[in-house]
Each structure stands twice: as structure tokens, then as C-alpha cells.
A = this chain, B = another copy of it.
């Protein structure tokens, strides 16, 4: 046996089956255009030879890849896992494949990955949030790549998007916190720069303060990357103030998990000594001790709808709509009313 094993091509199949390459191609892509007899013979040959179509050649000739690209800010924690899973499942059901990249919250890396996915021939793209350079939107438009923005709700509906209003959502939670009598609020926020979701959430708290006659500029805020350890460190810093905050509102559940963990180390009881809130309602939120009060985001719905929207744009060249989903509060143990002294 020679070691120069030949990888079978469509030509090989055609030759062995005694038909033209066009017919083999039709057997693969448009079976109804081929007679039953020919189809059977060709399929048998394909099997015998162990032939697999070359994806790149296919993409090149057809100018279609049935591939959708998605770029998410991080894969390290579960923030996007559930939504992306639903996105993937919906795509798969319609015969599309998903290619995922992580941008590590770096705009230039995201730009690079967008170009890479487009260069690979992605039929459409899913991006998180709306805040990015106009040049990127121009590029996407020029290349004619349908794009859906998720996890956000674009202020002026210039783009197709599926998400929710981060600001209004967090404001709803802050309203509740204030209604419970909390007046000394501190915040652990994600990095706001270049992240419209984090910015919106923080703004929601400030707006709520204003509506309740509080001074938003007096609000203690620490911005930090979404990692458990960062949440823990920020919590400790915030609790060193005098007087201590009665509640620490976190930009997401991961930061909140860090805060709760550190509270325990510091000998602080949650919620007796200090209340803590999160955002996202990932699985983690309900197994923490205490269970975490947070904003519930319909991740699976978001993923499904985004996929449907994108497929529609790809196949019908439609414009793509703006879909706004409702969020709700998940009231659990980690938040409770201020006790009068």
C-alpha cells in the first residue's frame, strides 16, 4: 500500500460512477433534478470511495457557505453560553453551521475577527451590542453581510437587533432597591468603555437615583472586568467605606458571585449585613448561597429569535427588524429591605 493516499474528489466520483461532475454535484445539492437510478448509483460510489466534499471549493464556486459567524466578548464564563446554545440549535435546524469567536472585550480584536469571518465567507453575522466604529458597519454593508446585534437594543433602529433595554432593566431593579429603603448604594460595574450594555446598566441606576431625588454623582462605582475575582476585590474596597453601603449592585452575576464569596471571607452576612444584586440570571445565580436577586434575561429566546431573524435576512435579503424583549426581576435571598436602626 502506498503512503500517498489520494483524497477522493468529485471528479473521481464522476469517473467511477460513469457520469459527469455536474450530475454528482446535483446528487449532492439538488437531488430532485436527478433520476432515481442515477442518484442511487452515484450515492453508492460516494460511499464506496469515502468521498467528502471540499468545503472551500464549494464555498468558492457557490458563493454560499451556510455558515453563520458569531463574535462574543468572552467564553470564559457562562454569560453568553445559554443564548448562544439556543442560537446554534436554531441555526442547525435550518441547515446552518455556526462559527464562534471570542473578542475578549477588545474592539480591535473584534474588528479583526469580523473580517476573518467575512473572509471565510460567513453568510451572516451575530454581534453583541451596538457600540463599535462606523467603519465596521460600513464594511459590513459594503460586503453585503447581513448582521444582527444582540444582547442590546439599539437606540435608533438603524440596525437589525434582538435584545433588551439594559438601562431600563437595571433601573427597574434599582427602583426596587430604593423602594426597600436602601439609600447607601454602591456599584460594581463592568468596564463601561466600549461596552454599551455595561454603560446602560450603570446609567439605569443613576436614572433611578435621580428619579428618587438622590445625587447620582455621589454613587460609589468601581468598574472592573467580568471575573469572579474582580468582583470579590471590588466588593472589599467598597465595603471599606464609612459608612458602609447597605447594598452593592453588580453589573452581572459573575461579579455578584465574587462579591458574595468575599463577603463570607470578611465575615459579613448577606443579606443581613449587606444586600447584593446581580444581572443576567445565569444558572449560577440560583445555587449561590444566599441565592442571588438579579435581573432575569430571556437568553434562550434571544438566541432563537436572533437566529430566525438572521436566516430570514440571509435567505430573503430582508432588512431585519428590531426586536425588543422583556426582562423581569428574579427576587431571591440576597436582597432585603433595610432594617430601621
Question: Is the C-beta of A119 less than 8 angstroms from some C-beta in chain B?
Answer: yes
Contacts of A7 in B (CB 8 A): 142-143
Q: Give min CB distance, A234 to chain B, whole Å.
A: 15
**Contacts A76-B81, A76-B82, A81-B75; is A56 near B287 (CB within 8 Å)?**
no
A272-315 toward B: CB 8 Å interface, digit per residue (1/0)? 00000000000110111100000000000000000000000000
Asked, given contacts A76-B81, A100-B100, A116-B97, whether A56 binds B52 with beta carbons under 8 Å apart, the answer is no
| CB within 8 Å of B: which A73-126 residues | 75-78, 81-82, 84-85, 88, 97, 99-100, 102, 115-116, 118-121
- Evaluate contact between B97 and A228: CB separation under 8 angstroms: no
- Which one, A35-43, A164-172, A256-264, is touching chain B? A256-264
User: Which listed residue (B59, B84, B142, B261) contacts A287, Cβ 8 A?
Assistant: B261
Which listed residue, B5, B57, B100, B287, touches A228 by the CB 8 Å rule? B287
| Contact present for A119 and B53 (CB under 8 Å) | yes
**In the bound complex, what is the Cα–Cα distance between A116 and B57 (angstroms)?**
13
CB of A260 to closest CB in B, whole Å: 8
Measured in the bound complex, the distance between the Cα atoms of B164 and A144 in whole Å is: 47
Is A18 in contact with chain B by the CB < 8 A criterion?
no
How far does the Cβ of A52 sit from chain B's closest Cβ, in whole Å?
A: 5
Once A99-B99, A228-B283 are accepted as A-B contacts, the answer to whether A54 and B119 lie under 8 Å apart by CB is: yes
**Which one, B85, B258, B260, B284, contacts A75 given CB within 8 A?**
B85
Identical chains bound together, number: 2
- Cβ-defined partner of A121 (8 Å) among B50, B55, B286: B55
CB-CB under 8 A from A75, the residues of chain B are 75, 81, 84-85
Closest CB-CB distance, A182 to chain B, in whole Å? Answer: 24
A139 at the interface (CB under 8 A from B): yes
Docked complex Cα distance between A65 and B121 (Å): 14
Kindly list chain B residues whose C-beta atoms are within 8 Å of the C-beta of A319. Answer: none
How many angstroms from the CA of A116 to the CA of B52 in the assembled complex?
Answer: 9
Number of interface residues of A (CB under 8 A): 47
Chain B positions within 8 Å of A52 at CB level = 115, 118-119
Interface assignment of A210: CB less than 8 Å from any CB of chain B: no
CB distance from A294 to the nearest CB of B (A): 16
A33: min CB distance to chain B, Å = 23
Whether A218 sits at the interface, judged by CB under 8 Å, is no
A57 nearest CB neighbor, chain B only: B60
Give chain B nearest CB distance to A7 CB in angstroms.
6
The residues of B that contact A120 with a CB separation of less than 8 Å are 55-56
Closest approach, in angstroms, between the C-beta of A106 and any C-beta of chain B? 12
**A335–B286 CA distance with the chains assembled, in angstroms:** 23
- The reply to whether B84 and A139 form a contact with Cβ atoms under 8 Å apart is no
Residues on B with C-beta less than 8 A from A257 are 287
Q: Which one, B100, B119, B286, contacts A55 given CB within 8 A? A: B119
On whether the beta carbons of B5 and A142 are closer than 8 Å, the reply is: yes
17 pairs, CB–CB < 8 Å, chain A vs chain B: A5-B142, A7-B142, A50-B139, A52-B115, A54-B60, A54-B119, A54-B121, A56-B56, A56-B60, A56-B65, A76-B78, A76-B85, A78-B78, A97-B116, A100-B100, A288-B289, A289-B289
| Shortest Cβ-Cβ A-B pairs, 4 listed | A261-B287, A289-B289, A55-B119, A56-B56
